[in-house]
Structure 1
């Protein structure tokens, strides 16, 4: 049994076969933050924002 609220209820019919259908949300609020890790040392990977024309770091 699903713990989410049903957004839509309906049915699909094929001849004499009647199949009840319910539509639920596919995702939950919130998210997962995936950090990039260096394969060799498992240290977090960072990046600098650099102006491509001047080569200077943007602060």
Structure 2
């Protein structure tokens, strides 16, 4: 699956069987919009947890202790 991190654009093997065509469409979407494209082996778009951004930042930044 190819999906955009900035909008709802996505393609998967069910909608476009050709890997080459999916890759070309992802490149075209990036060129047209500047949006970030990601890939996944999943047939559905990965979901992000519904948590506040501060929780993610706190986990990524080392503590000063």
TM-score by length of 2: 0.20
TM-score by length of 1: 0.20
Q: Counting helix residues as a fraction of each chain, which structure ranks higher?
A: 2
Bigger RCO (CA 8 Å, 6+ sep): 2
Q: Counting strand residues as a fraction of each chain, which structure ranks higher?
A: 1
From the CA coordinates, give the structure whose radius of gyration is larger: 1
